[in-house]
A and B are shown apart, each in its own frame.
Chain A
Amino acid sequence: MRKGINWSFIGVFLVASLLVVYASQAEEAKITVLNPRGAPPPIHLIPMAPRLDTLAGKTIYIVDARFPDTYQLLEEIQRLFAKKYPEAKWVLKKKSGAYAEDDPKLWAEIKEKGDGMIMGVGH
């Protein structure tokens, strides 16, 4: 009698175990998908320009990027820097065109006559 009961329990246990294993395998089915991301271009690393060893005798341009109603920050930069670093010349300029536009003429002027540039400020 004891043996009969044990076989029943073992049978039920085995069937239940198989069901659990089967269910867990079905849940954990794994798939491969395609990557949705596109290809950004490779990045060409460009070294930054050598820094100034001193401000003395240098001309630093302060350029307004032309975002509306932000010029006052650049004016304050000029005022503060001219006072705090009088050994350098601080030239305030507005870039031409809208803030996203290039201004090769100004860059050429800064390259020719300047030693550095501060630029600001969107928004």
Chain B
Amino acid sequence: MKLEKMGVPTAPVVTMVFAELVKKVAYNGGMPNKRFTFVPHPIVAVPASVCRDYLQGNDPITGKIVIQEIIEALTKPLTEPEKKVGFLERAEPRLLGPDTAGSLQNLFLKNGWTDYLPIVLPTEEKVAEMLKGTSRKPDEVVGKMQASGAHPMWSYTVEKVAVNAVMAGAKPEYFPVILAIASTGVTSLFTSTTSFARAVVVNGPIRNKIGMNSGIGSMGPFNHANATIGRAWTLVSLNLGGSGMPGVIYQGSQGSTVNYNNNCVPENEEALPSGWEPLHVQKGFKPEESVVSVFSGWGIGRADFNRGGIIHVQIPFFLQTCSPFAGATLYLDPLVAVRLKEEGFDTKKDLVQWAYKSSLIPIEDYWNKYQLIRTFNLPKGEKGVEPYASWLKLPKDALKPRFEKPEDITVLVVGGGTNPAWQLGDFKYIASASVDKWR
């Protein structure tokens, strides 16, 4: 669209599964009538002969001959709608109804405003109650969020976050935590065909004040605050960040169950071995501050049920399951943390540094076996961007650390101490935000 604005006619060619997405992006970008040509999907690794057939065949969406459609996109005179200028406002009404509760539940469901689980209808009374959880004014802007870099930024107020917090079933005392998450501007429903997931960790006194569970079953469906705070982030991302609409905005080919709750957990700070700092302190906050931290990745797997032997030597083995494009977040049961301290890791930093240096990947594998490395890092290296440019010059039999930097590995202590097991997420830290600011 940039070239169109510069006065150069363009003819984009797109694979058919992205038809609704590109039309939406063009619409949001101000060219609702942009001329696209579609070819079958996928094109990745499809032989040239098949590509030729696609070009000489029919556009699977419009039915036109592809090669002619491309020429037409460049040469057919503009229609009146294609020449239009002006603004399209997209205001939404503040209130919905009046209608029966059943009809409103169906409305929310039909419009894709929920996670398809029943919601608490956000009546004015319930939203007013939620707003008592903060001293901030209802019309104050909390932040801006977008489904991806290609999509517009939506802005949202304290009241709008409250509406979604009510829908999630949260209590007013949880609201500052939800506002803090919303203030990061990070969507939990980032759109990519790779099916991103996000994770959130809560630190500080707020965890116990609102009754979060960092012990037995912390990462499971056993606590109201853990469940509804995580869910609220999903609803905020859906309704206030412009995500959702599978096939139009959201493109995750498989999706992720993590999206329901974003693995919302409080760190078990009380179970940290001496010298091991809570996450928020590692990020520069004071221990007495309450903080949320958000992460980006794709999923969580169980790493081990170690009962004997040395624990730390297993860590690089399991880190091999993380793409070098991602990060790694180790959710360690307190029993594992104690053992690692006994094995010589006096601080979380010691463990992270060791894990970083011990998790190596052959450079050939790094450049050739990972889709996202080839898509994003290889072009950067070819452009001369460091450290990728230097990595491109490494000998073919070289080994390098799997992750870009030690900070891409996070260590948390979560769980009830009944089994020295741990879980591994390929989550990379994004940002932290103060909860106290939103009280």
Query: Which residues from A are CB-within-8-Å of B374?
Result: 68
> Does B313 have its Cβ within 8 Å of any Cβ on chain A?
no
Q: Which residues of B67-100 have CB atoms within 8 Å of chain A's CB atoms? A: 67, 70-71, 74-78, 82-100
Given contact pairs A42-B87, A45-B85, A110-B3, A34 touches B95 in the complex (Cβ within 8 A): yes
Binary flags per residue of B319-344, CB closer than 8 Å to A gives 1, else 0: 00000000000000000000000000
B123 adjacent to A32 (CB under 8 Å): yes
Stretch at the interface among B153-161, B197-205, B273-281, B404-412: B153-161
CA gap between A6 and B261 in the complex, in Å: 63
Binary flags per residue of A85-123, CB closer than 8 Å to B gives 1, else 0: 100000000001111111000010011001111111111
Given contact pairs A36-B108, A119-B10, A31 touches B52 in the complex (Cβ within 8 A): no
Binary flags per residue of A73-84, CB closer than 8 Å to B gives 1, else 0: 101110111001
Stretch at the interface among B29-37, B282-290, B351-359: B29-37
Chain B contact residues, majority secondary structure: mixed
> Does A39 have its Cβ within 8 Å of any Cβ on chain B?
yes
> Does B48 have its Cβ within 8 Å of any Cβ on chain A?
yes
Q: Which residues of B122-167 have CB atoms within 8 Å of chain A's CB atoms? A: 122-124, 127, 149-150, 152-156, 159-160, 163-164, 167
> Does B41 have its Cβ within 8 Å of any Cβ on chain A?
yes
B13 adjacent to A46 (CB under 8 Å): no
Query: Which residues from A are CB-within-8-Å of B41?
Result: 123
Stretch at the interface among B173-181, B219-227, B237-245, B395-403: B237-245
A39 adjacent to B97 (CB under 8 Å): no
B122 adjacent to A36 (CB under 8 Å): yes
B70 adjacent to A118 (CB under 8 Å): yes
Query: Which residues from B are CB-within-8-Å of A72?
Result: 43, 46-48, 51
Chain A contact residues, majority secondary structure: loop
Pick from A32, A40, A70, A81: contact of B44, CB below 8 A: A70
Binary flags per residue of B212-255, CB closer than 8 Å to A gives 1, else 0: 00000000000000000000000100011110000000000000
A45 adjacent to B13 (CB under 8 Å): no
Nearest chain B CB to A38 CB, angstrom units? 4
Query: Which residues from A are CB-within-8-Å of B104?
Result: 31, 33
Given contact pairs A120-B13, A123-B44, A34 touches B159 in the complex (Cβ within 8 A): yes
Q: Could you count the A-B residue pairs with CB atoms below 8 Å apart for me: how many are there?
A: 263
CA gap between A70 and B41 in the complex, in Å: 11
Residue of A nearest to B238 (CB): A36
Nearest chain B CB to A92 CB, angstrom units? 13
CA gap between A54 and B76 in the complex, in Å: 10
A39 adjacent to B30 (CB under 8 Å): no
Nearest chain A CB to B290 CB, angstrom units? 25
Pick from A47, A76, A84, A115: contact of B51, CB below 8 A: A76
Residue of A nearest to B166 (CB): A34
Residue of A nearest to B242 (CB): A40
Pick from B2, B33, B93, B375: contact of A35, CB below 8 A: B93
> Does B389 have its Cβ within 8 Å of any Cβ on chain A?
no
Among A38, A40, A55, A85, max chain B CB count under 10 A is at: A38
A122 adjacent to B14 (CB under 8 Å): yes
> Does A10 have its Cβ within 8 Å of any Cβ on chain B?
no
Nearest chain B CB to A68 CB, angstrom units? 5
CA gap between A116 and B7 in the complex, in Å: 9
> Does B8 have its Cβ within 8 Å of any Cβ on chain A?
yes
> Does A48 have its Cβ within 8 Å of any Cβ on chain B?
yes
Query: Which residues from B are CB-within-8-Å of A4?
Result: none
Binary flags per residue of B14-32, CB closer than 8 Å to A gives 1, else 0: 1101100000000111111
Nearest chain A CB to B405 CB, angstrom units? 19
> Does B390 have its Cβ within 8 Å of any Cβ on chain A?
no
CA gap between A107 and B124 in the complex, in Å: 51
Stretch at the interface among B293-301, B302-310, B376-384: B376-384
B9 adjacent to A52 (CB under 8 Å): yes
Given contact pairs A30-B98, A42-B89, A49-B8, A69 touches B44 in the complex (Cβ within 8 A): yes
B10 adjacent to A35 (CB under 8 Å): no
CA gap between A31 and B83 in the complex, in Å: 44
Given contact pairs A55-B75, A97-B379, A76 touches B52 in the complex (Cβ within 8 A): yes
Given contact pairs A38-B155, A49-B4, A73-B39, A67 touches B9 in the complex (Cβ within 8 A): no
CA gap between A37 and B94 in the complex, in Å: 9
Pick from A40, A79, A114: contact of B90, CB below 8 A: A40
CA gap between A67 and B100 in the complex, in Å: 49
Nearest chain B CB to A90 CB, angstrom units? 11
Nearest chain A CB to B120 CB, angstrom units? 10
* 19 A-B pairs (CB sep. < 8 Å): A31-B104, A31-B121, A37-B239, A38-B154, A38-B156, A43-B32, A45-B31, A45-B84, A46-B1, A48-B9, A67-B44, A80-B67, A107-B3, A110-B8, A111-B8, A116-B74, A120-B13, A120-B43, A123-B17
Known: A34-B122, A49-B9. 14 other contacts (CB 8 A): A33-B104, A36-B122, A38-B92, A39-B155, A47-B78, A49-B4, A50-B9, A68-B44, A72-B46, A75-B48, A79-B52, A84-B67, A101-B379, A117-B3
The 10 A-B pairs with the shortest beta carbon distances in the complex, nearest first, are: A120-B13, A38-B240, A30-B98, A46-B30, A43-B88, A32-B97, A38-B156, A36-B239, A73-B51, A72-B48
